[in-house]
Structure 1
C-alpha cells in the first residue's frame, strides 16, 4: 500500500494554497511538470510520475513529504525525478542514459507542440540566452523588492499573476499591467556573504522597485495583477515564482550591463533605463 502523505498550509501563506505540487508546463520543452518547494524554500520541478527506485540512481532520487520535496529516497520502492534530467531542451547530463526512453518520449511530445505552433522554438540550448538577450532582456532578471533581491523565473514583462479566477483557472494577466507603475533598471554592487569565494563581477543589473509605494511592492511580492490585488477572496492557484537571490549560486544570471537597445553615442551604456 502506498505511504499516506499529508499536506499542510505554509504558516506564512496569506492564501489558502496548500503546499503541494503545482502542475504547470516546462517553459523550455512544454512537457508537464510539478513544482514543489524544497526545505530551503527553493522551487524544484519534478517529473509528474513516480519511477521504480531500481531504475533511478541513488543520487537522482527525490521524494515528497508533507508537500516538501527532498533530494533523497524515502525508503519505499518508488521515487520522483527532477525534470531537469529529462528535459529534451537541455543538454543530457551524464546520468541521463538511465532514462533515455523516457527522455525520447518527452522529446516526441515537444516536437508535436512545435509542429502545432503551441511552443515557440528555441534556437539556443536552455540556460543560454539568445545573442544579445543577456544585455537587452534578461531571461531571469534580478529584482529588488522591499530591499531584498529576488531572482525572477522569467522576464519582468512576462511575470504572470498567480490568482485563481472564477473559472478555477490561473489568471492570465501580468503583474506589470498596462497601468502599473514601472520599476527602474540600475546597476548595484554584488555583495557576497562573509567567507564566500570572490564573484566574477562587482556590479549587476537589477530591476529595482524600491521607489514604488509599499502596497505596490507587496502586490509584486504576492505576484498578483492589479485586479486580483484588491480581490482578497481569490486564492492563489500556484506559488509565487520569486527565489531569494544568492550571488554565488545564481552567478550565471548576473548581468553587468543594463538592458538597452543599444549604446549611447560614445560607447557607454546608460546607468539607468526604464522597462
Structure 2
C-alpha cells in the first residue's frame, strides 16, 4: 500500500466546524419571535402587551382554547409560591388554566390587580399586589396614568347606570362586555403614521343600536339572576356587515379597507352574568330616557 494511502486513512479527529465526512457544520442562530419596528402589523406576537385600565400596570393578553381571552401578569412566578387555582401556563401561544409541570407558572392579572379588593387576593400573592400598588401610585404621581372615575356614593340609584362605564353589547346574538362606554369604543386599526386610529365605532352618519331592557337571565341551563331586567345595547337590528364591523372593532373608514392591520386586540369580553354581575344595570342610560318617544317607556326584548 502506498504511503499516501496511509496519510489519507489516518485517524484524525475532525475539526469542530466540520462533520466526520468533512462537510461544514452550520448551526442556525437561535432567534426569538419578534415583530419588526417597521412591520405593518403588531399582532404577530403570541401575547398582546397592554396596560390594565384599572391600575395601569403592564399585562399580556393571551388567547384561550375558548373564545374568551385572558390577561396574565407579564412575568413568571415560582409555582410553589402560587396557589394551584391561580397557576397558568402558555403553550404555543395559547394560555391554559393549569401548570405544565415545571417550577414556574403565570398568574392572571385579576388575582393581583391593586384595583380589586384586597380580600379577594390569595395570601401568597399579597406581596406582588403590594408591589403593583406602589407602581400604580408612581404612575399616578408622574401623570402617566389616570384611574377611572368611580361612581359617587349616594341614595340615588347608581349614577353609573345613567352611562355604564362597561356596557353590555349584544351583536350577532351574542352578548359581550365592552371595556369603555359605547360612544368611547375606539377603532383598533393602525393608521399610516403607525398609531392607533382615534375614530370611534359609533361614528356620525352610521346606524346606531338601541338600548333595551331585557330579562337578566343566566346562560342556558342556569338559574335566573335576582335582577329582573338589565340594560343592553342591542345591535342585532343592524345589517350583518355592520355587526361584523362592531365585532372586529373597526371604524367605518377602516372597515372599507380590509388590508389595514390591527394595532390592538378587540376589547370584547364574552358576557357571563354570574361573573360580571357588577356591570348589570337595571335602568336605561340617560340619553335613552330623555329622548325616547312617547308611549315607549322601555323596551323589553328577547335576549
Does the alignment reach a TM-score above 0.5?
yes
1:108 aligns with 2:134: yes
* Partner Cα distance (2:194, 2:128) in 1: 31
The 3 A distance-change label for structure 1 pair 48 and 148 is same
How far did 1:223 drift? Answer: 0.4
1:119 aligns with 2:142: no
How far did 1:46 drift? Answer: 0.7
Contact kept, 8 Å, 1:19 with 1:37, in 2: the verdict is no
Task: Note the 1:3-152 alignment, pairs <5 A.
Answer: 17-18=43-44, 20-93=46-119, 95-122=121-148, 124=150, 129-131=151-153, 132-152=158-178
Deviates more, 1:16-25 or 1:26-35: 16-25
Q: Which has the larger strand fraction?
A: 1
Q: Report the counterpart of residue 298 of structure 2 in structure 1.
A: 271
* Partner Cα distance (2:217, 2:120) in 1: 33
How far did 1:17 drift? Answer: 4.4
What number of residue pairs does the alignment pair up?
254
The 3 A distance-change label for structure 1 pair 40 and 93 is farther
* Partner Cα distance (1:199, 1:165) in 2: 43
The 3 A distance-change label for structure 1 pair 173 and 214 is same
Q: After superposition, what is the alpha-carbon deviation per residue over 1:4-57, rounded to whole angstroms, capped at 9, x for unaligned?
A: 9x99xxxxxxx9945721111100111110111222221221111111212222
The structure that has the greater radius of gyration is: 2
Q: Report the counterpart of residue 251 of structure 2 in structure 1.
A: 225
* Aligned partner of residue 36 in structure 1, secondary structure: strand
* Aligned partner of residue 144 in structure 1, secondary structure: strand
Q: Report the counterpart of residue 180 of structure 1 in structure 2.
A: 206
The 3 A distance-change label for structure 1 pair 168 and 96 is farther
Unaligned runs of 5+ in 2: 1-29, 34-40, 291-295
Contact kept, 8 Å, 1:85 with 1:92, in 2: the verdict is no
* Aligned partner of residue 189 in structure 2, secondary structure: coil
Contact kept, 8 Å, 2:167 with 2:233, in 1: the verdict is yes
Q: 1:155 aligns with which of 158, 171, 181?
A: 181
Unaligned runs of 5+ in 1: 8-14
The 3 A distance-change label for structure 1 pair 220 and 63 is same
Q: After superposition, what is the alpha-carbon deviation per residue over 1:112-149, rounded to whole angstroms, capped at 9, x for unaligned?
A: 2212333224564xxxx545343111122111213332
**CA RMSD in angstroms, aligned pairs only:** 3.0
* Aligned partner of residue 133 in structure 2, secondary structure: helix
Contact kept, 8 Å, 2:112 with 2:121, in 1: the verdict is no
1:241 aligns with 2:303: no
The 3 A distance-change label for structure 1 pair 164 and 142 is same
Contact kept, 8 Å, 1:19 with 1:66, in 2: the verdict is no
The 3 A distance-change label for structure 1 pair 178 and 32 is farther
How far did 1:175 drift? Answer: 1.6
How far did 1:109 drift? Answer: 1.8
Contact kept, 8 Å, 2:190 with 2:260, in 1: the verdict is yes
